[in-house]
A = this chain, B = another copy of it.
């Protein structure tokens, strides 16, 4: 993203999306597209739109009124560099831009108009779901938190965007019906497993590995899969979710082997 050196809004937007990270969601869009046998042009803009939404949501999550995070992806968070007002406005502008990148990306990927309309309509639902998940997460109280409740919150906060990534990858490959449903089930379970692993890494991995402060959840008194089920319980849950994700795509056969590897990466990642 080229931008004017004198334009703090553009610079902050650039930091938010170009500041590193694992790129799980855009890679997932491209993986789904690839395993479905499409060898043509990759839907890169569609994948970027998903990352832009994710990046904007992280800027908000890190704000003082939410997680009050100082470090993200090994750098000071956006509001620490640019101030809160610039960070919030950059997230807002990024979301608007993501909608446009998604729309034009779907055109470039040759998705039919009716499907494009349905997918851009889904964008609004997914963003609302992310926001609702974030709010619920901020309000979680450990004493009254069981597995169903935790999973319901993170299905919204994390699972929804993974599922949308799968939906977009499949749509760009022109795939609907049962294959798509299997991929969505995979994505929802993978998204939850990713979050459980995030909670585990907060306890077990160093700041150098994750690019985030270690032990942040405990310091903030956050209710997480680890605080509720312990390290071993959370690891078992992560393994179970990964197994369920892999089972969901088993009927699709050997063509989706890359997705099995992707699930194993989520289970074993160290950062």
Contacts and interface: CB of A to CB of B under 8 A. Distances in A.
Interface-central residue, A107, A117, A135, by most chain B CB under 10 Å:
A135
B99 A135 contact: no
A132 B85 contact: no
Interface string A129-161: 001101100100000000000000000000000
A84 interface: yes
A120 B97 contact: no
B100 A121 contact: yes
Given A92-B60, A96-B95, A123-B96, A85 B103 contact: no
Q: How many copies does the complex hold?
A: 2
Contacts of A107: 117
A43 to B, nearest CB: 17
B97 A128 contact: yes
Nearest to A120: B103
Interface residues of A, number: 39
Contact of A124 (B85, B99, B128, B138): B99
B132 A9 contact: yes
B97 A99 contact: no
Contacts of A128: 9, 93, 96-97
A99 B123 contact: yes
A89 B9 contact: no
Contact of A85 (B66, B86, B91): B66
A60 B127 CA distance: 17
A230 interface: no
Nearest to A65: B84
A126 to B, nearest CB: 8
Contacts of A131: 9, 89-90, 92-93
A92 B89 contact: no
A142 B186 CA distance: 57
25 contacts: A9-B132, A9-B135, A60-B88, A60-B89, A63-B85, A63-B88, A85-B135, A86-B135, A89-B131, A89-B132, A89-B134, A89-B135, A90-B131, A91-B92, A92-B92, A92-B95, A93-B131, A93-B132, A95-B96, A96-B123, A96-B124, A96-B128, A97-B128, A100-B124, A103-B117
